[in-house]
Amino acid sequence: MIGTATQNAYLGNLLAEHQELMQKISELRQFWLEVCELGMGPKCFELADRIASIREHLQEHFDAEEQGGYLGPALRLAPQFADEAEVLRAQHAEFLTRLDSMGTRLRTGDHEVWNCMCGEVDAFVADLLKHEHHENAIVQAAFNEDNGAGD
């Protein structure tokens, strides 16, 4: 059984990490919307730099999540979520690969690449938000579940 202080620390760290990540994603989306909607033209290299920054932050975020076992405290309380957690953990590498691909293609400066990015950036952000939400749901379910310990 995990103590309340440990649970609170784990939840606090997880929440802070997810909030910081969401802030960075929000900044990327804002840049993307401004460039696309205001007709500022392709800014391939600037978007590639922003994607590289997000990728670096995401790598650190995933490394922190996986340190000591991915979603370890939650899965110790609720091992029934282990299969779902493994699917989510495997997505980490996929997200990083997608960002690498986007950044590499943007660095070519090809305007055709820019035209393809709109849907790709939107899909990436939507998938990452879904992933983070699913992680949060597992953690919430694990810590809110009545494990028979009584009140």
C-beta contacts of 64-72 below 8 A and 24+ residues apart: 64/17, 65/14, 65/17, 65/92, 65/135, 66/92, 71/135, 71/138, 71/139
pLDDT at position 104: 94
* CA atoms within 13 A of residue 24's CA, in its CB half-sphere: 17
Considering the entire predicted model, what is its pTM?
A: 0.83
**How much is the average pLDDT of 31-37?**
77
Q: What share of the chain in percent tops pLDDT 90?
A: 43
For residue 55, pLDDT beyond 90: yes
Confidence category of residue 64, pLDDT binned at 50, 70, 90? confident
Domain boundaries, the chain: 4-144
pLDDT in tens, 74-108: 999 999 999 999 999 999 999 999 999 999 998 88
pLDDT in tens, 102-147: 999 988 888 788 777 878 888 999 999 999 999 999 999 998 864 4
